[in-house]
Amino acid sequence: MSSLKRCKEDIEDFGMFSKRSKLLRPTLRVIFFFFSLLLMFAIYSLLFLILYTKFKELLNWRVLSLIQPLFALSLTYLFCRFIDKRSLLDLGLKFYKGFLRDVVVGTGLGITLTTLIFLILYATGCLMIKGFIHQGNSPEKLFFSISFTLLQFVLLGLAEELIFRGYILQNLIEDWGVAVAVAASSILFGLVHAGNPNVTILSIISITLAGVLLAYGYLTTNFLWLPVALHVSWNFFEGPVFGFPVSGVSGFKLIQTKITGPNLFTGGAFGPEGGLISIFAIFVGIVSLNFFKKIGGWRKD
C-alpha cells in the first residue's frame, strides 16, 4: 500500500467509525462503555436499596453484593460481543503456557505487598492486634465466611480487571498508545472509588497509582491473569486476613485490628489504600514486577 493511500485511509478513519474495521472508534467505545457502567451502578444501587429494604428478613445483603460484579461482567461481555465484535476472552483471559506462572507471581506479589504493609504498621506502633475471629466461632461458620468472602473478591477483582485493564485500557491503546491509555484508565479506576466510604483525595491518588501497577502487570504479560491474581490477593489479604478496610469498606476479618497512627500514613478509616503506606507498597510492586520481567523472560505467549 502506498504512503499516499495509507494517509488517505488514516484521514477517513478520523470519524466516529473506522473505515477499515467498520467499528465504532476505540475511544468512543470507551466513553459509551464507561457511562453505561455508571448507569448500571446507579441501577444496581437502587435495586439493592429497594430489595434489601422490603425483603430484609428474606435476603442476605452478602448474596445481593454478588450481583454488582456479575452485572459488570455481563455489561463487558455485551460490549465485547456486539460493539467490538470479539470474545470476552480476547481481553486477556485465554489459557496459555505461562498461565500458572502469572497467577502464582500475581498472587504472591499481592500477599507480599499487603504483608509488608501490615508489618510496617505493626513495627511502627500504628497497628494493634485486638483478637482473632476464630475465637467463639465454629469451624463450619468460619469456613463458610472465608469461602464466601473469597468468592466476592474473586468476582470483584475479575470484573474490575476486565473493565479497566481489559476493555478500557486495551481500547485506548489502539487510539492513543500505551502511556496515555495507562494514565487514562488508571485515573478512571481511581475516580470510580470516589463514592466509597471515608474517601479522601489521597486515597483516590493511591488507587489511581494501584491502577498503574495493575496495568503494568497486564503489559508485562499481555494477559490479565497476573493483574487479576494480584488484585484478588491484595484485597483478600488486606481485608479478611489482616483486618483492614478495603477501599473504605469493612467486612469479615480473621484478625481484629486497631489503627492508631496518623491517617496520612495509615489511611485511617479508608484502609491502607488511603495512606502513604499504600503508595510505598505500590512502588515496591512496580519495582518487583520490573525485576520479574527481567529475570523471567516473559514472552507474548
Q: How many CA atoms lie within 13 A of 55 on its CB side?
A: 10
pLDDT reading at 131 higher than 90: no
Q: State the pLDDT at residue 142.
A: 85
What pLDDT is stored for residue 295 in this prediction?
79
The candidate with the shortest Cα–Cα distance to 84, out of 183, 160, 170, is: 170
Axis-axis angle for helices 26-54, 67-82 (nearest 10): 150
CA dist 161 and 211 (Å) reads: 9
Residues 6+ apart with CB under 8 A from 118: 127, 242, 244
Cell of 56: 430484609
Q: In the block, which residue shows the cell 467490538?
A: 84
Q: Which amino acid is at 270?
A: F
Q: Please tell me the predicted confidence (pLDDT) of residue 87.
A: 96
Banded pLDDT at 21 (limits 50, 70, 90): low
292 pLDDT band (50/70/90 cuts)? confident
| HEC per residue, 199-246 | CCHHHHHHHHHHHHHHHHHHHHHCCCHHHHHHHHHHHHHHHHHCCCCE
Rounded distance between C-alpha atoms, residue 184 and residue 146, angstroms: 35
Q: What is the mean pLDDT of residues 10-31?
A: 72
Helix axes 99-123, 225-236, angle to 10 degrees: 30
> How far is it, in rounded angstroms, from Cα 208 to Cα 183?
8
Expressed in angstroms, the distance from the first to the final Cα of the chain is 29
**pTM (2 d.p.):** 0.90
Mean pLDDT, range 139-163, rounded to an integer: 92
pLDDT digits 0-9 by tens, 57-95: 656 666 777 888 999 999 999 999 999 999 999 999 999
Interval 165-203: pLDDT, tens: 999 999 999 999 999 999 999 999 999 999 999 999 999
Coil, strand or helix at 185:
helix
Rounded Cα distance, 25 and 301, in Å: 27
Q: What is the mean pLDDT of the chain?
A: 89
What pLDDT score was predicted for residue 112?
A: 98
- Report d(CA 67, CA 217) in Å as an integer: 27
User: Strand, coil or helix: what is 248?
Assistant: coil
